[in-house]
Structure 1
Amino acid sequence: MNRSAHLVSLVTPPLMLASSNATATITTTTTTTTTVTTTTTVAETDAGANAHHHGPVFVGRHAIRVRKWPHPDPSELLKAHGILAAVQEAQRRSRSRGADPPRPVIAVTPTTTSALQVPSLITLAHTLRLVDGPLRWIVVEPGHRTDAVAAVLARSNLDFIHLVASDGASTARLRMHALREVRKEKMDGVVVFADENGILRTELFDEAQKVKSVGALPVGILGEDEGTKESFLQAPACDEAGKLVGYHVSDETLLPAARSDMLLSTRLEWAGFVLNARVLWDGAAERPEWVRDLDAVDGGAHLDSPLALVTDAGQVEPLAKCAQAALAWSLRSDALREVKFPHEWKFEAPLVSAASRQQSSVVNTEDGH
């Protein structure tokens, strides 16, 4: 086979026949210089007037467009793929033309030692890595920094702050300690409460960008609370005009926004609320009158309620258009904290050695019989 002729046959675009009755003849001519050239002629029939080289090919009832031969230069193909990838990335980051860049996200996570602490933090870290734009993860522990949490943060590839609150501090106190850090460093952005027992959808971070001061989002409740099994949607309730009228604290109970009932509001999940970080600053012009000073909140008796941040619960902004679809889920269960688990979820070497010795003894016993 002549290599030059074979190369020509590979590079030359394939020709379409004019019709099913068309025939192709290949004529090979050899000259005295032993140069082989291949020419292709198409014998046209009565349909020759309608012949075309590129057009639709019908497979059943579906038309398939036959495009020209791909570009022979691989570098040009890579350049085209690079342009497409850049366009898709720009479309993903800016969903609407002229959109402002996203505000930084500040994720607040209080954590305590439990059986699911490390797996929950790892799962949460993977979720936070999907957030568009800058993000800072604030993780607060009581008493001292543990090696397990420090290892998860170091491997997360996220911008994080590892804080320590007073020993024996409750989850509410840990959360307030993180908010004081936001005020102290004057961090700008959107505060999202990403608890370790929660599951967050990426759409939650998109809705959080819309908050002006304090906003409420729908969150699903799973698990048990005080021995009672619960599974319902906790969400802001709105009227026909889209104005906030109350909060669903259970399937049967609606907390009116005009009623300051802190007993019921303690059942609201922090995961269903977002803040503009500027409302936490001292003397910030962005903080409205109905948002409490952080020192007054920290000294109050209702730290378990996110409504402790405001004096008028009716001023909270309902986000996600009051849609009755969960953007986060909260697992209520205190039993998991009492579960015993192996240190770092690994078997120690003596356990493996003991198993090997036991297996060896069984083999020796069988050999003896």
Structure 2
Amino acid sequence: MCYLIEFGDFLSTDLKNTDNKQTIKPWEQLLELYPGLNEPIRESWNDPLSIRKIYMITPTKTRAEQIADLTRLAQTLYLVPNLFWIIIEDEIKPTQRIHRLLQSFHLPFVHLNIATPDYLKPTQNQSTWRRPRGMFQKNIALQWIRSNTNRNDDALVYFADDDNTYHWKLFQEIRKVQSVGVWPVGLVGELLYERPICLNGKVHSWFHFIYRKRKFPTDMAGFAIHLNLIHKYSNYIFNVSATSIGQQESQILDTMTTQDQLECLANNASKIYVWHTKTQIMFITAAHKLQKAGLTYDLISEL
């Protein structure tokens, strides 16, 4: 009886509050209920640097987790003003399921595609680290940028995996880049993080563990490049041979800058705003059992 009385009191109070808020817009109600939402939106969209466009390059390939990863990433991008998303599928032609997903978010984007040749794909029992990943897709994105932007535009280029985790403040750091900026990346290289070690805003050395011979031992998520460098080095493409494993970052940075020229961002490379997370591969074993029983389904093309 006591619980029913309390529930009834809650309902009457809630209805009263609803009546009082009829003149308040739904978005204002949301900010009133969750005032923490206001900070990233206000800070991002009112930042004077937000006038600088970011071209974000994201290779993606068909897998069971793909739609979930892209959905999570797209919803983060709502907090980021003036960003243009370049999605490149590892497919012979663009798939409708990805195009429908991208259109549903109403974010500025272009949807491209190119298939990685079979001989460069990992075999069934081979780690994905043993083959170059996303390089053909990144090269197509660079080609698109050079054909569709002006070399004098004040804009930035950033490479973003579809399953990484991004703090909204990362994009504020990207907009500070004048030439090439660097910052830490979490959960990468068999460490909690890799990072440049900076003194007075310049890179002194690197904190890292694996692939010790890398000239620039950072993850692809750990730097951004000014658009004019992409145009200046217009012949640059990623080396797509299998011998380039672990060298994508060093290839492009060694072409376009030097360690002395790198700009340390994220509070002198002391803050982590991006994590090299990797979605756990789902073992869809029940599908095979359904097929053996004569039952089939194919939702991946519908989602």
What is the TM-score of this pair, normalised by structure 2? Answer: 0.66
Deviation at 1:142, TM superposition (A): 2.1
Deviation at 1:115, TM superposition (A): 2.4
Counterpart residue number, 2:207: 248
Bigger mean CA offset, 269-278 vs 299-308: 299-308
Counterpart residue number, 1:309: 252
Which residue, out of 67, 71, 94, partners 2:46?
Answer: 94
Question: In the TM superposition, what are the counterparts of 1:162-311 in structure 2 within 5 Å?
Answer: 162-168=111-117, 170-186=133-149, 188=153, 189-221=155-187, 230-239=190-199, 241-250=200-209, 263-265=213-215, 268-282=218-232, 293-299=233-239, 302=244, 304-311=247-254
Q: SS at 2:276's partner residue? A: strand
Deviation at 1:248, TM superposition (A): 2.0
- Bigger Rg over Cα: 1
Deviation at 1:94, TM superposition (A): 3.0
Aligned CA distance change for structure 1 residues 294 and 307 (closer, same or farther; 3 Å): farther
Aligned CA distance change for structure 1 residues 277 and 146 (closer, same or farther; 3 Å): same
Structure possessing the higher relative contact order (Cα contacts under 8 Å, 6 or more residues apart): 2
Counterpart CA distance in 1 for 2:139 and 2:230 is 11
Matched, 1:331 2:277: yes
Counterpart residue number, 2:60: 111
Q: SS at 1:114's partner residue? A: coil
Q: 1:244-263, CA deviations, whole angstroms, 9 ceiling, x for partnerless residues? A: 1122223xx7x9xxxxx7x4
Counterpart CA distance in 1 for 2:109 and 2:139 is 17
Counterpart CA distance in 2 for 1:276 and 1:322 is 19
Q: SS at 1:264's partner residue? A: coil
Aligned CA distance change for structure 1 residues 93 and 176 (closer, same or farther; 3 Å): same
Identity of aligned residues (%): 25
Unaligned 5+ segments in structure 2 are 1-20, 32-37, 121-132, 288-293, 297-303
Deviation at 1:134, TM superposition (A): 1.7
The answer as to whether partners of 1:235 and 1:322 remain within 8 angstroms in 2 is no
Deviation at 1:235, TM superposition (A): 1.3
Counterpart CA distance in 1 for 2:145 and 2:97 is 24
Counterpart CA distance in 1 for 2:43 and 2:276 is 32
Aligned CA distance change for structure 1 residues 351 and 90 (closer, same or farther; 3 Å): same
- Code of the residue aligned with 2:62 in structure 1: it is T
Aligned CA distance change for structure 1 residues 246 and 332 (closer, same or farther; 3 Å): farther
Aligned CA distance change for structure 1 residues 121 and 243 (closer, same or farther; 3 Å): same
The answer as to whether partners of 2:197 and 2:204 remain within 8 angstroms in 1 is yes
Counterpart CA distance in 1 for 2:285 and 2:96 is 16
Counterpart CA distance in 1 for 2:217 and 2:284 is 28
Matched, 1:160 2:109: yes
- Code of the residue aligned with 1:237 in structure 2: it is I
Aligned CA distance change for structure 1 residues 212 and 113 (closer, same or farther; 3 Å): same
Counterpart residue number, 2:124: none
Counterpart CA distance in 2 for 1:158 and 1:180 is 21
Counterpart CA distance in 2 for 1:107 and 1:320 is 19
- Code of the residue aligned with 2:222 in structure 1: it is G
Q: SS at 2:51's partner residue? A: coil
Q: Number of paired residues?
A: 237
Counterpart CA distance in 2 for 1:100 and 1:130 is 14
Where is the helix percentage greater, Structure 1 or Structure 2?
2
Counterpart residue number, 2:14: none
Aligned CA distance change for structure 1 residues 309 and 107 (closer, same or farther; 3 Å): same
Q: SS at 2:161's partner residue? A: coil
The answer as to whether partners of 2:185 and 2:276 remain within 8 angstroms in 1 is yes
Bigger mean CA offset, 139-148 vs 120-129: 139-148
Deviation at 1:232, TM superposition (A): 1.6
The answer as to whether partners of 1:268 and 1:305 remain within 8 angstroms in 2 is no
Unaligned 5+ segments in structure 1 are 1-73, 256-260, 283-292, 344-349, 353-369
Matched, 1:139 2:139: no
Where is the strand percentage greater, Structure 1 or Structure 2?
1
Deviation at 1:172, TM superposition (A): 2.0
Counterpart CA distance in 2 for 1:322 and 1:342 is 49
- Code of the residue aligned with 1:193 in structure 2: it is F
Counterpart residue number, 1:126: 75
RMSD over aligned CA atoms reads 3.7
What is the TM-score of this pair, normalised by structure 1? Answer: 0.55
- Code of the residue aligned with 1:308 in structure 2: it is Q
Counterpart CA distance in 1 for 2:286 and 2:148 is 38
The answer as to whether partners of 1:139 and 1:162 remain within 8 angstroms in 2 is yes
Counterpart CA distance in 1 for 2:75 and 2:42 is 22
Counterpart CA distance in 1 for 2:238 and 2:207 is 25
